[in-house]
Chain A
Amino acid sequence: MRIERMLFRHALPCVFAFGLMLPLASVTWANEDIDVAVDIDEQNIEVIRVTDTTPPIPKTDASAFSTEIDLERYAGEQKRLEDLLGQAPGVQIRRFGGAGSLAEVSIRGSTSAQVVVLLDGVKMNSGRGGSVDLSSIPLSQLEAVEVSRGGGAWGAGSGAMGGVVELRTRRPDYPSTVLSAQAASFGTAETSIARTQPGEIIDIGFGYHGFITDGDFEFTRIETEFPGGVILRPSTKSATRINNELERHNGHINIGVDLDHAGYLFAQQSIVHSLHGESGLDREVVSPTAGQQRFAEQRVLTSVSQVRWEDIAFLDGEVTATASLSHRLERSKFEDPKPTLGATAIRDKFDDTSTALALRPETIQTMGDTVHRITGEVRLERDRLDPSGASSHDRLGASVSLRDQVLLFGDLLTIAPGVRFNWTDDTGSRLLPSIGLVLEPASWIAIKGNVDQSFRNPTFYDLFLPDRGFASGNPDLDPERALNYDIGFELKLPSRFAISNAQIGASVFRSDVKNSIIWVLVSPLKIRPINTDDAKIEGVELVASFDVGSFATLIANHTELRAVSEPDSVRLPGRPNRETHVRLEVGPPHLVKGVVEFQRIGSFTVSNGGSYTVPSRTSWNTSVALELCQLAGKLGADLHLRRLWLNVAIDNVGNVAIRDSLSFPQPGRSLRVGLEAQW
């Protein structure tokens, strides 16, 4: 196994790249330039002015504060999905280790289980714990990433209290191949290929992503400062992250068939397999290894399958619909042959499955002076948890939702009322109203606001985790509920001097959360979940971006957050009070891209009582990417590729000690070198 890992890490990227690139390097574009000469008699040309009288159509979810991440901007940088999401306003990524380690998303101070992550419309949230490991979703498979901030229960149902992350895999409707390989510090290597090929009858897309890392990095252990400045330093200043190896393989295949007037049939299958060590937290015991677990490991197999029938026309095309049947399976095996203090070996295995059948009709209707975009959904779903050595649990659910985005006074005002009726067999039914508003007095300004209700059902682990002595579920838990509000504006500023494409946005948000489910220690050896005090989360998001000439782009966002538990206003743990992200890109476009990223994360508490805080920290990343095809072209050579990026990046340039939301250590400075080819 060790030899195979070495081969994979060192030789496979080269062999793979070399083997594929040579025979394919001769591929030329399907479309060739055609020279046509036309004589024009300018005297006799009749000028016809065409005026578009089609009424404007309400945009999908116009009132949402959302960020569509321009993946093209990051071409060649070989970033990870969680890196890109983390730079969006209002989004916080909680990392539990280095590259490839568990990474969860929080939006507007939510927990990670309060954010729904959809992959081509399939909910990826685990039925066990409710959250999604973003590190298991390779960016190379995606063509679009969008983050909607604020309650999204109308569209996404249970769990969308903080927001929704929508990921779309590459559609096989245009020909493309992307091949990349990257090596990085701490014994990390990854490679991927993604190919999409439309055909006369069948469109096919497929991809593979492999990732491997030793994951063992040195980290500086945390000091404790008492009131008055007395310091307790750990017995060893630093320790090594041990048992942090990871090997992960992702594969996917998408097949599409154009049914002409009957719509488009789309089928997809993706599989992820990972094997990784579970070293745990620095348990602050007296030990050079910081009390990490040496032998615990987890093996996870995730399969997502979907058949989707799109653009189904009803009523002479007045109504179009999408029908989908999806299935998600997560099979997880955890083993620790030698837990702490010689307790008996732990072996846990379970299957977590979700099946959903959905129909989403949509119609656009003009009624008088108003235009209505009416969307709905009827959905049936079943979740199931099969743990080893314990009872299985099922949850049946059904929901009906309806939203009418109404355009008034031309495109001046959009009102979007909506409602969702949600039912599950264990937590009962609820009605979730929502309303959104967009005011666009001019093309360069939009003022938006939303009020909506959202909720999250307790997960199977929250409810039914078998009492193994150290943890047990609580079958009496109530669902979490929230009332969300936000209001803000977006401006597109006219170009001035060398500044162009300038955009500014700001929003204020608030969420009143009830029945928060929190796992609490009830004894030194036991945790249990309870519904706890109300929470109030409020904040401000600021966004700005602009280009300087054609050689530089600046993107910045800043979020202020106050997340407290009522009634005593104790700060909720793990939520920084502010975050700032700034990204500067310089260089002639598509030739050289120099990037500097600045990140400042404010202080956050790491205990339920709010007494322990980790102070704010600043970190820098930098990278340089060369587009070798363009470069070769300038030198008179032709690489016969659309693009070939060579990227060198340094993350955490300052080598500062980074502790994430639960005080998990992160690596220091690290280097990445990679190649990405496209044709």
Chain B
Amino acid sequence: MVKRTLTTVLLISCVAMLGNKCGGGDGSSGKAPTRRVAKVDENNCAPIVGLFPPGFDWLPGNDGHVVAVQDSPPGVLFFDVDRNRPQLLARDEIQSIPVDSDGDGEIDEDQRLCEDDDEEKIVSMGAPIGVGQSLAFVASSGFEQVMFFAAPDGDLVEFSVTNPPDTPSGSYHGNDYPYLPADEDERTAITTKACIYITDETNVADETSVGGSIGQHPCCNRIEDASSFMTAFTAGMALGAGHLFVATSNLDLPNNFIGSYYPGTVLVYDYDDDTAPNQIQPNTEAPVIYTTGFNPTGVTAYRTLAGRDLILVTNSGALVPLVGRENIITDSFIDVIDAQSRTLVATIPMGRAGLSFDGVSVDPEKRIGLIGSWTFPLLYAIDLRVFENEDLYTETEVVRLDGTQAGHPDARIFEADTPFEIPNRENGPHPFLCDGWTFSAINEAGDSAYVLERCDGTLTTVSLLDPVTSCEAMRNDSTCCDRVPLPESCFALASFQSVTEPFNTVTGLHGPSQIGVRPGEPGIDFTGPDVLFTVDLPEGQLCSLRVDSL
């Protein structure tokens, strides 16, 4: 009797244990778990969910509308910035990026180029560019591509994406873009993942930024025995002369903590917005332009007074995430690409400046280009008037605009050896925590530059003295304003204010990044705030400021 009872019990327990695959719930009853985003106390900021918002841009021809990107979760937001606090244009739901982000019918993560390649998934988003009144392009990394978004909800838009036939000259090979469609397809993104081969023709050194030799990427096998790598970390982009120019930083990720990068590239696409749907494809004559320096980041479209479209590409140089000057390994450059001919025509050597990633901010008067530093409270500047020289575009070699080449003046006003210093805040953070990062923009009138310092949380106004009056007054020299580059004395600190807490806070807004000035004349073309900037921490924000507008 006892043993029978015991045995019965044990059998029951065994059955129960063997049946432990009875499964469990997924927590789907009731409301989905929700993270609520509160309004910030500051009355001039709107939340961008996550940290370190990648950036924002104005929508051309659509006054007061801005596109911004959030990284976690990845998404694109459109704002009306006519009020003090930017207001989301979306009303009910913001479209999240689907798992098939490029619309090719395959889940991104299920795609692999070859056995040795990693799964594709969007890990981070890049800064956007406003392309049309309600259209924006946003790059992504992890799954390298440029996606197309529409206001107000951030819906993905389909373009006609084509893989042109290989050219007889050998300038273009469709197989080098493994994620392009075989022919033409309607997609919501165009790939920026391309095989880059280092051959004698490419005129690029077969070395990484730390001097290591470049091997062969296992998924790039069109040219045997040639060094190759896959583009990675899609960065800035700009439109010019009917083309889209997209920089790829090409981090050598497994070795990036020692600052290793493959040669920098700018991918060139033909973009036609006169068709429906819009069309985009790699340019077959010059699909890839190699940058002078490593780590191309910001890309700016610039039109000279003579009407020539240029693309200015910031080569930030190889960087490591350490503190101090040791984190800049190679020189920075500002490359100049002729958008019409799609050729690299000039480069401006900036020394070990560690140029910031946000691209050159240009003066509406077309005299000055400004750019900050990635790791110091410093500002650098170039003279844009050098680009008015049409001889620049007929040279056969890339021109160094550092005063060493006859007929081409030095374009540098402030560079690594002679930077413009931004003042430090008194209660700023210890350099151990944050040593510096500056972002800049120039106002519509062209007489002031606004410089954000991320670690201090300050906005410094730099007066860009009217060369006509100031040069004469200061130097009693009417030719001062004709001098190229513009004299350093034309820059002066005008004012200094805090816009956020310094970086040694935890709970207060800190880490302002990326600043932009609204196109148009404040008070005449618009009445809202004239300056926007993003904030990284503790939660991402898009904030507005009235500097020139009342």
Question: Which residues from chain A sit less than 8 Å from chain B, CB to CB?
Answer: 9-10, 13-14, 17-18, 21-22, 25, 181, 183-189, 217-238, 283-289, 291, 338, 340-344, 467-470, 474, 476, 518, 520-526, 528, 530, 532-533, 565, 568, 570, 606-615, 628, 632, 637-640, 644, 646, 652, 654-659, 663, 665-671, 673-675
Contacts and interface: CB of A to CB of B under 8 A. Distances in A.
B123 A233 contact: no
B514 to A, nearest CB: 13
Contact of B96 (A9, A234, A528, A673): A234
B341 interface: no
A395 B356 CA distance: 42
B254 A286 contact: no
Contact of A655 (B12, B17, B29, B47): B29
Interface in B95-111: 96-99, 101, 107-109
Interface string B222-257: 000000000000000000000000000000011111
Contact of A565 (B32, B50, B507): B507
A646 B14 CA distance: 12
A613 B35 contact: yes
Interface in B11-65: 12-14, 16-40, 47, 49-52
B433 interface: yes
A35 B1 CA distance: 29
23 contacts: A14-B13, A186-B23, A218-B26, A218-B28, A219-B26, A222-B35, A224-B35, A226-B88, A226-B94, A227-B39, A227-B47, A231-B94, A284-B50, A284-B72, A284-B74, A341-B142, A476-B432, A608-B506, A609-B509, A614-B33, A646-B12, A655-B28, A658-B27
B216 interface: no
Given A224-B73, A671-B24, A287 B108 contact: yes
A344 to B, nearest CB: 4
Contact of A185 (B24, B28, B257): B24
A644 B96 CA distance: 53
Contacts of B88: 226, 228, 230
B157 interface: no
B505 interface: yes
Contacts of B305: none
Contact of B13 (A232, A238, A675): A675
Contacts of B96: 232-235, 286
A14 B92 contact: no
A426 B23 CA distance: 51
Contacts of B503: 522
A524 B35 contact: no
Given A25-B6, A223-B35, A639-B5, 10 more contacts: A13-B13, A22-B6, A218-B27, A341-B123, A530-B433, A533-B507, A606-B35, A608-B538, A669-B24, A671-B24
A232 B20 contact: no
A469 B320 contact: yes
B313 to A, nearest CB: 22
A10 B16 CA distance: 10
A637 B28 contact: no
B10, B17, B50, B101: residue with the most chain A Cβ atoms closer than 10 Å: B17
A669 B50 contact: no
Contacts of A666: 27
B492 interface: no
A230 to B, nearest CB: 5
A183 B108 contact: no
Nearest to B12: A646
A227 B37 contact: yes
Interface in B109-157: 109, 118, 121-124, 141-143
B205 interface: no
A657 B27 contact: yes
Contact of B40 (A186, A230, A533, A611): A611
B434 interface: yes
Nearest to A216: B24
Contacts of B28: 218, 220, 238, 655, 657, 668
Nearest to B4: A637
Contacts of B69: none
A236 B23 CA distance: 21
Interface residues of B, number: 88
A516 to B, nearest CB: 9
A533 B75 contact: no
Interface string B482-519: 00000000000000000000011111110000000000
B406 interface: no
B508 to A, nearest CB: 6
Contact of B38 (A528, A611, A663): A611
Given A225-B36, A342-B118, A655-B27, A524 B51 contact: yes
Nearest first, the 8 closest Cβ-Cβ pairs linking A and B are A668-B25, A669-B25, A609-B538, A185-B24, A218-B26, A183-B20, A668-B27, A657-B27
B321 A469 contact: yes
Nearest to A12: B17
Contacts of A289: 109
A10 B17 contact: yes
B204 interface: no
A657 B30 contact: yes
Interface string B302-337: 000000000000000000111000000000000000
Contacts of B90: 230
Nearest to A186: B24
Nearest to A26: B2
B220 to A, nearest CB: 15
A344 B35 CA distance: 33
Given A285-B122, A286-B108, A521-B51, A670 B24 contact: yes
A235 B118 contact: no
B499 to A, nearest CB: 16
B26 A231 contact: no
Contact of A656 (B30, B52, B74, B504): B30
Contacts of B73: 224, 232, 234-235, 284-286
Contact of B539 (A469, A528, A609, A674): A609
A9 B20 contact: yes
B17 A183 contact: yes
A188 B20 contact: yes
B475 interface: no
A230 B24 contact: no
Contacts of A658: 27, 33
A494 to B, nearest CB: 42
Contact of A667 (B19, B24, B37, B509): B24
Given A235-B97, A609-B538, A673 B505 contact: no
A637 B13 contact: no
B9 interface: yes
Contact of A230 (B3, B39, B94, B108): B94
A227 B321 CA distance: 35
B449 interface: no
A286 B74 contact: yes
B183 interface: no
B537 interface: yes
B426 interface: no
B92 A230 contact: yes
A462 to B, nearest CB: 14
Given A183-B19, A640-B2, A657-B28, A524 B124 contact: yes
A448 B495 CA distance: 58
B254 to A, nearest CB: 4
A181 B17 contact: yes
Nearest to B21: A187
A637 B6 CA distance: 10
A47 to B, nearest CB: 49
Given A21-B10, A227-B47, A341-B142, A286 B35 contact: no
Contacts of A291: 121, 123
B500 to A, nearest CB: 11
B93 A232 contact: yes
Nearest to A232: B94
B100 to A, nearest CB: 9
B262 to A, nearest CB: 13
Contacts of A285: 72-74, 121-123, 142
